[in-house]
Structure 1
């Protein structure tokens, strides 16, 4: 049965993610009248707060992190906040949390949505505490669903352990695994681009596409994530979730409808069709001291305070073994301390099979589709066009871009935080933009095989200067196929 939650329980309510994303997103949704009118937001964490002090804490976070340029009322949201401190690592305290939350309803307009943003080590005790105190559907039959923030494990085995623990208390249709990239407008627009325009889908295959590039570049280093990141690395932090979800959306077959089951069925088929990556199809790197935006930055080991073999850069040449994509390489690249912050998908089409202009001295270039996700959301299609002129010395052709900048194309709607979409879907129960268990396990299966290859081959990260585009070997990875990374 579907239901719209009348209560939202936030674990990790005083953490960095809550301050930067969750509280601002919920405040914006409240201000726009999109959340149920009666909804209560209950925060919980180890920090000791009263309702009033938590509201003051939230107000300070909102003042700092609410997006500029939007008219957002704060007071209506603050009035909905309550707080109950909890140490989720022990059973004690969950009874007090349950009393604070109150009874979980069974009507369509009553229910509880839980957002779990805690350390992975706390997932199992948290689920046990919820189930033992009437805050899980298997125990009460009530309207309860749960959202899980990554990381969901460090490999397939630990991911299965977490998923088994959650499945012991919540059925799959009540579990919302979050990948915040799926909340971004341009990522969702990728589906509209492919499946609402007859222009693209007939050409979206190996007969017409030469290769695909997916780049997720960051200029930042460790910041406040040193402990987590050094135990994770770029492959598990970025490729396993965000990049593989982008790849699946690019490569999936047309679903039968735009609903959660149909969309996720097609994504998991792509993930299961990923070919094992050979050692010469992957490059790892770690940044050393350099400069970003004109300022000196330390190397990874210096920033960490000790020597480490953790990779901060990964480049992979991936293949999808199915009819649509046979022979089309997917080049994936992500790293920290790169020259610019950007996330983009590049679809490079094949060149025309025969050019009628060669005899007139004109060269044709392949069409390229660039889907920019951040920091600027845009879609650009490059086309060949004739340069104006009398052409007495021969025809001149040049690539010209067709640009669709999302803020310009849609001047009315406000640009929203990705978590606004996801939190609203969690409250209302729409799983379309969330990741199913079989997707997560297919992703980990592929990632674990890459890490095993690294271990077997004794591969360690190559150094690259902060402010560069990674190790030179990553350039060679593409160039030996005649491909140049889009920069």
Structure 2
């Protein structure tokens, strides 16, 4: 992050200013940026919503949100008192031309008050079907035409399929230039995700072995204990593949698989990620069923509490065919990664809430140890733990103390909580700071979005043509349906079921290749 002196005066307009995303994420993130000195001296937050609420009540509600969701805990009252002076609640109908004329008046008056043209950021914290309409009104009102100072931030989902993503891109690019559009994926703002770039490209130790000659398999796990909670109306139209794989997980594959960029310039990094997306193997319909598994949770037990099945959730139909779990085997067909399977798994109501990437290396080419010792050899493993723990672990073999040659698996662990005194910034803090700086490195371009959909569409189309025969097919509190275990077992592996990825590895977690 850069300091206050390097940021231009900024007006941040949040459409959906009293919505759940603003309450849980955006205002707490902005408050933390303010406290840490990463907001410009001159800034204004315009929270636009249709609710009839006073400024006092709005500030009170979002003060409570900061107390509940901020990484630093309860807000300091003096700091909040200063911060809330920069918030302006604007009651407006976002479908009405007059609302944008009123906003334009605020922008012009503020520019005059500050005696300079401020940067304008338009954050779409609204339902996806409002994005096109708001963007069109912004273009019609002429209040977002400065390519250098005006930016629009669009939350996922970026379309429902390839065609709708292309339509959305066409609308946005008809009003804004591509460098004004920031398609936000909060996963890319996480510290450990960003650390993949640092780990790979700042250390000469690892790059020589980062290829098919040394790496045997890669696993990406993003599992949740919660069900759909209050998101059923969205989730029924999305499912696990659209919600997680099309965006978050494919972006993780890009970071693991990309070639070194010339530098960390936004387009240089995004060009290399796009190359990975182009290289990911596409599935024909018959190959979908050999490489992808879907599931839906039934009732079960989570942390001692009985939970209901997905089709018993509020706003979910009894015959719903929406997948709440997906596992897949991908390949990157290029020189570096040819033949290395990348297994991904994501789902709700699974045994643990955890996100990690595990890199399993090939066995040594010649085992010089006695037969009894050889049988105890574990594969070398590298684990990037994303949440709830954050850190990196390298798992390797060492001699156990004693007179004879006996091996023992040991770990080298980098844990954020042990290495740094301060809490890392929340993903939204990082991303909001980058938007204000005009740094698009961690945001997706239109070609990345569309290429991601081209990878996913064969899976979705095959599933539409062949509805599942058995849903629900896994119990809440498990690691998913047995078909997911069969998918990876076919190649001689099993899932690395890390409950705490930064703790010492047990043999059962390792997924050693069967002989």
| TM-score, normalised by the number of residues in structure 1 | 0.94
Of stretches 65-74 and 174-183 in structure 1, the one that deviates more from structure 2 is 65-74
- What is the number of residues matched between the two proteins? 480
Aligned counterpart, 1:376 = 389
Aligned counterpart, 2:100 = 94
Runs (5+) with no aligned partner, structure 1: none
Mapped partners of 1:71, 1:258: distance in 2: 35
Mapped partners of 2:109, 2:7: distance in 1: 15
Aligned counterpart, 2:139 = 131
Mapped partners of 2:451, 2:9: distance in 1: 31
Deviation for aligned residue 1:90: 3.9
Checking the alignment, whether the CA contact within 8 Å between 1:105 and 1:111 is kept in structure 2 is: no
Say whether 1:317 aligns with 2:325: no
Aligned counterpart, 2:482 = 472
* Alignment of structure 1 residues 84-483 onto 2, 5 Å: 84-102=90-108, 110-137=118-145, 143-277=149-283, 278=287, 279-304=289-314, 305-307=316-318, 308-359=320-371, 361-363=373-375, 364-391=377-404, 395-411=405-421, 413-459=422-468, 463-483=473-493
Deviation for aligned residue 1:53: 3.1
Deviation for aligned residue 1:150: 0.8
Say whether 1:30 aligns with 2:34: yes
Deviation for aligned residue 1:358: 3.3
Deviation for aligned residue 1:8: 0.7
Say whether 1:8 aligns with 2:16: no
**Residues 277-307 of structure 1: CA distance to partner in whole angstroms, max 9, x if unpaired?**
3221110000000001111000000014522
Mapped partners of 1:447, 1:484: distance in 2: 24
Of stretches 42-51 and 190-199 in structure 1, the one that deviates more from structure 2 is 42-51
Mapped partners of 2:53, 2:105: distance in 1: 16
Mapped partners of 1:295, 1:341: distance in 2: 16
Mapped partners of 1:235, 1:409: distance in 2: 35
2:264 is paired with a residue whose SS is coil
Checking the alignment, whether the CA contact within 8 Å between 2:68 and 2:74 is kept in structure 1 is: no
Mapped partners of 2:409, 2:147: distance in 1: 60
**Residues 124-156 of structure 1: CA distance to partner in whole angstroms, max 9, x if unpaired?**
11011111222211xx66721111111111001
Aligned counterpart, 2:503 = none
**Residues 152-184 of structure 1: CA distance to partner in whole angstroms, max 9, x if unpaired?**
110011111111111111101111100000110
2:243 is paired with a residue whose SS is helix
Change (3 A) 1:431 1:374: same
Mapped partners of 1:108, 1:152: distance in 2: 34
**Residues 180-200 of structure 1: CA distance to partner in whole angstroms, max 9, x if unpaired?**
001100000010110011111
Aligned counterpart, 2:504 = none
Checking the alignment, whether the CA contact within 8 Å between 1:3 and 1:111 is kept in structure 2 is: no
2:296 is paired with a residue whose SS is strand
Mapped partners of 2:157, 2:139: distance in 1: 22
**Residues 414-465 of structure 1: CA distance to partner in whole angstroms, max 9, x if unpaired?**
3221100001111111101111111101101111111112234444555100
Deviation for aligned residue 1:102: 2.9
**Residues 14-72 of structure 1: CA distance to partner in whole angstroms, max 9, x if unpaired?**
11111111000000111111110111111001212343332223222222222245875
Checking the alignment, whether the CA contact within 8 Å between 2:46 and 2:89 is kept in structure 1 is: yes
Checking the alignment, whether the CA contact within 8 Å between 1:407 and 1:415 is kept in structure 2 is: no
Aligned counterpart, 2:22 = 18
| TM-score, normalised by the number of residues in structure 2 | 0.89
Mapped partners of 2:32, 2:117: distance in 1: 21
